[in-house]
Amino acid sequence: MNVKLNTEPLESWIDTGGKPLIIAGPCSAETEEQYLQTAREIAKEGYAHVLRAGVWKPRTRPGSFEGVGEPALPWLQQAKKETGMKTAIEVATPEHIELALKYDVDILWLGARTTVNPFNVQALADALKGVDVPVLIKNPINPDLALWVGAFERIAGAGITKLGAIHRGFSNAQETKYRNSPMWQIAVEFKSIFPNIPMIGDPSHIAGKRSLLAEITQRSMDLNYDGLIIESHRNPDEAWSDASQQLTPAALGEMLKGIDFRNATYGDDFKDQLDALRSRLDNIDRELLEVLASRMAVVEQLGDYKRENNTAVLQLDRWNQVHDSRAKWGKALNLYPETVEELFKLIHMESIRKQTEVMNSETA
């Protein structure tokens, strides 16, 4: 995929002092008191550059708290006045954009439920024409890289040059320990397409629970993300939405102190050692491919045997056995079970494809 967009670097539209961008604030702005107290505590801790807030909340089912709406926007203005920090909110309609700009919101973001619909994204792009405001775009709910890329093309087509990506994870039919599966490879592939667009991790929505936030945050920093957007509430247990994934401002500060923020580049002193390690990786990868080729040779033999005995290619018991056992083997080898499971899905699907070819080929 070869895509070029006219974008401005992160440091041209917000000063983070060379540190990763930190956007923090409650999932929802619930009351004036709740929001301002949370904002003041975040500002006092000193780690954040931008205050976030959910003003309009797209909920899965009606009856859930869907945000205060326009009455919350003056609270953000007051927080900005008191703290000197920029503010950011999610927008999902052209009216949201109009109101956000009316109340001097500094940064807008498109949510995952918006990114998934090109019609919605185009309507927002049309509303943004002639506007100079940073826009962050979350990945779509489903793992579709083209949809994510398309959203950036549409918003950039409106003349927006201050763009950022938010990786918030993807829905997965399978049960995992995370609220949304990270699928890190999609974010990495996005970064390879748009190396100049800052990538911002959203540990809150990937993790879904406080106990996993540090793990996801560290992984984001290990992958050289440009920043984080994390939910923080003065009293998370009383939050009107997403209570389980929010931290108090002080607890968030403590968590961030425990994160290793990596250097984006390395000096010449490390180059020789890195080259040597990468050469070892190249050799190991070649060996992996040779082992995979050997596995496929056995798969072809299996296909021949099934054809001779008129046996169906897909055996569900075996499918389940493979996925369960390989995940356990991977865990015993200190590998992520979810990664191993995804890997063997691909391998098993390729095995089925190859067996199907053998079954449908003419008998020698």
Looking at residue 52, what is its pLDDT? 97
pLDDT tens-digit map of 162-183 = 999 999 999 877 677 899 999 9
CB neighbour class for 19 (10 Å; exposed up to 12, middle 13-18, buried from 19): exposed
- Cα 244 from Cα 253, distance rounded (Å): 17
pLDDT tens-digit map of 223-245 = 999 999 999 999 999 999 888 99
Mean pLDDT of 56-60: 75
- CATH for 10-257 is 3.20.20.70
Lowest mean pLDDT among 1-10, 112-121, 194-203: 1-10
Q: Which of these, 171, 175, 169, 220, lies nearest to 198 by C-alpha position? A: 220
Which of the four CATH numbers 1.10.10.10, 1.20.59.10, 3.40.50.880, 1.25.40.10 does domain 268-360 have?
1.20.59.10
- The secondary element (H helix, E strand) that includes residue 115 is helix 112-115
Looking at residue 264, what is its pLDDT? 63
Share of the chain above pLDDT 70, in %: 95
Looking at residue 2, what is its pLDDT? 64
Looking at residue 316, what is its pLDDT? 83
Judge whether 141 and 113 are in contact, CB under 8 Å.
yes
Judged against a pLDDT cut of 70, whether residue 266 lies above it is answered with no
Domain map (residue ranges) of the chain:
10-257, 268-360
Judged against a pLDDT cut of 60, whether residue 364 lies above it is answered with no
Coil, helix or strand at residue 55: coil
Q: Which of these, 91, 101, 110, 93, lies nearest to 132 by C-alpha position? A: 101
- Cα 191 from Cα 189, distance rounded (Å): 5
Lookup: tokens for 361: 């080929």
CB neighbour class for 9 (10 Å; exposed up to 12, middle 13-18, buried from 19): exposed
pLDDT tens-digit map of 117-174 = 999 999 999 999 999 999 999 999 999 999 999 999 999 999 999 999 999 999 877 6
Looking at residue 310, what is its pLDDT? 85
Looking at residue 1, what is its pLDDT? 65
Dihedral pair phi/psi, residue 247, rounded to 5°: -120, 155
Looking at residue 281, what is its pLDDT? 87
Looking at residue 59, what is its pLDDT? 65
Mean pLDDT of 289-299: 90
